[in-house]
Structure formats: C-alpha cells, structure tokens
C-alpha cells in the first residue's frame, strides 16, 4: 500500500488468491485496501473512503448484496461506486446487483485490462460527479462556498453543537453602500471589489472549522463552531478593520475603499430552536449595524 497515491480502491473477497491477483493488477496505479468479509469491508469503507470498491458477491456470513445494502444506506459511503466481482454469469444476478446499487460487474477469471478499464471508468465518472457537485456548491464570482453549501454546513454544525452543547456563532456581513459603489465605478469594478472582500475574509479565518460563504448579492456569512460571543465579536472586528484598511485597485481611477457592517449572533442550540431562527438573529444584528451608518459590528 502506497500512501502517496491519491486514488484508493477497496477489494473485498474471501479468497486470498483473488485478493492477491487484484492487488497485483491495481497496486501500481492505486492505493489498495483489502477486506475478507462483509464486516471488514464496511469498516474499511467508512475508515478509508475509497474511490471505488470491488466487492465479491458470494462470501460467508454476509454476501455482497447485504454488504452493498449497508454501504448504500450510510451517508458516508453511499456515493462510492461498487463494482461486483463474481463468477456468476446469469443476467438475473447482474440485474439483482444493479438493483442494489452496483455500478458495474467484473467477471471471474479476471482480465487485467478489463479490471483496469472498469475501475478507471468508475473513477472517471466519480471525478465528473465531484466536479459538478463542487461547482454547484461554489460561488463563481468569489470562489467562496455558496449559500447552498453554507446551509448544508450549518445543518451539520447545528446538529453537532446541539449534541455537544457547545456555542455556535455566525457573522453576517454586508458591504456598505455597495449600490453607490457600483453606480460610481461600474458593475465590473463592483465584482472586483467583492472578490477582494471575499479573499480578505477567507484570509482572516485561521481555524480549519471556520466556514465563510457568499450569502447573496453583497452579503457574506461566516460560521464559527465552538466559538462564544466574545470570540466571534473579536473576529468580526478584525474582519471589519481589515476590509476598512484595504486598497482596492480600480483601473484608471487609482485605489478605492469599502467598509462592511457585521451582525454577530451566538447560541448554544436547543431542541426547541431551529437554525433559521439563528440566522434571523444575525440578520437583526446586521440591520442594527447598518442603521448606525455602517462600518460597525453589532451583536
């Protein structure tokens, strides 16, 4: 197993000779993990999150159909393509496998070229799906995650904070007088300015768990797990000052300036409160900051 290889394959078969042969075929190109029964397969899939799983159908204790049912019922592993490896040659068994969610079949005895082709094909399709998914979750102007991505992350962090009873903070940012800026310098320059603010925001966040996104228009949002109100306000003030101090290039017109207003809200989630109310509280704080002529942090 070579940990430097990025693409990972899990081979599941109770026959040592099959494991050795398939590992020999795939090892030059992939990091290969192996499992000899269904329980090992499920644990390995959840631990290593392989790009492709090769799964034998006929195994003791749990057959391949039982294993793939478990994989497809788990949020962590349901998206991993599964190729059945089998000595069965009837169309009924293939149809059953596809009904359970298999992506392809490889028949025994193995042809090295067929094995390589089918694994590469599944990896290629997976990469395409990942690219599409990434594009659907990324704001194309700022390259920050978009609102949909933020809402997915919020649900995850909200559930964790509620389970662990830890504080969750949110900062809603709005660029002050952005319409006037666009009217003065043009929408193309407005896009340049938004990208500059977004880049500055991303650079301010230091912890891996902190999450910034474009909420929409000239609004950005930051989610701060396990952060109390004081910590969130300190970070918000850092963001405000950094944006205020930026010089934004404007071709033919020198440097331009912008400021932001920020609304901060912190909560330890309870079962009686939903995440949408959490956002509304941050919106109310942002409105308070805007009503005080902007370039303010309010909570």
Give the strand pairing for 219-225 and 168-175.
antiparallel
Residues 61, 273: Cα–Cα separation, whole Å: 45
Catalytic residue among 46, 94, 113, 218: 218
- 113 is known as an active-site residue: no
The DSSP result for the chain, as a single string, is: --TT---EEEEE-S-HHHHHHHHHHHTTTSEEEEESSHHHHHHHHHHH--SEEEEES--SSS-HHHHHHHHHHSTTTTTS-EEEEES---HHHHHHHHHTT--EEEESSPPHHHHHHHHHHHHHHHHHHHHHHHHHTB-TTT-SB-HHHHHHHHHHHHHHHHHHT--EEEEEEEETTHHHHHHHH-HHHHHHHHHHHHHHHHHH--STT-EEEEEETTEEEEEEET--HHHHHHHHHHHHHHHHT--EEETTTEEE---EEEEEEEE---TT--HHHHHHHHHHHHHHHHHTTSS-EE-
- Torsion on CA atoms 131, 136, 141, 145, rounded to nearest 10: -100
Catalytic machinery residues:
218
């Amino acid at each position: 197993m070579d940990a430097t290889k990025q693409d990972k394959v899990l081979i599941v078969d109770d026959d040592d000779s099959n494991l050795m042969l398939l590992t020999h075929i795939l090892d030059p190109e992939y990091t290969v993990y192996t499992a000899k029964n269904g329980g090992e397969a499920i644990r390995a899939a959840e631990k290593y999150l392989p790009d492709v799983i090769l799964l034998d159908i006929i195994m003791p204790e749990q057959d391949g159909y039982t294993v793939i049912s478990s994989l497809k019922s788990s949020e962590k592993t349901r998206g991993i393509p599964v190729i059945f490896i089998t000595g069965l040659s009837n169309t009924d068994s293939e149809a059953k496998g596809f009904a359970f969610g298999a992506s392809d079949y490889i028949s025994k005895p193995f042809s090295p070229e067929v094995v390589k082709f089918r694994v590469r094909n599944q990896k290629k399709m997976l990469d395409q799906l990942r690219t599409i998914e990434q594009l659907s979750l990324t704001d194309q102007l700022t390259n920050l995650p978009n609102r949909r991505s933020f809402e997915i992350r919020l649900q995850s962090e909200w559930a964790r904070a509620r389970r662990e009873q830890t504080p969750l903070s949110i900062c809603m940012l709005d660029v002050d007088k952005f319409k006037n800026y666009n009217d003065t310098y043009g929408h193309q320059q407005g896009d340049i300015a938004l990208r500059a603010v977004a880049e500055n925001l991303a650079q301010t966040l230091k912890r891996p768990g902190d999450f910034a996104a474009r909420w929409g228009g000239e609004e950005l949002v930051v989610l701060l797990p396990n952060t109390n109100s004081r910590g969130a306000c300190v970070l918000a003030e850092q963001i405000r000052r950094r944006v205020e101090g930026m010089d934004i290039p404007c071709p033919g017109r020198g440097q331009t300036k912008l400021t932001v207003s920020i609304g901060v809200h912190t909560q330890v989630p309870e079962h009686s409160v939903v995440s949408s109310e959490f956002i509304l509280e941050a919106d109310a704080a942002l409105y308070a900051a805007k009503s005080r002529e902007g370039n303010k942090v309010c909570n």
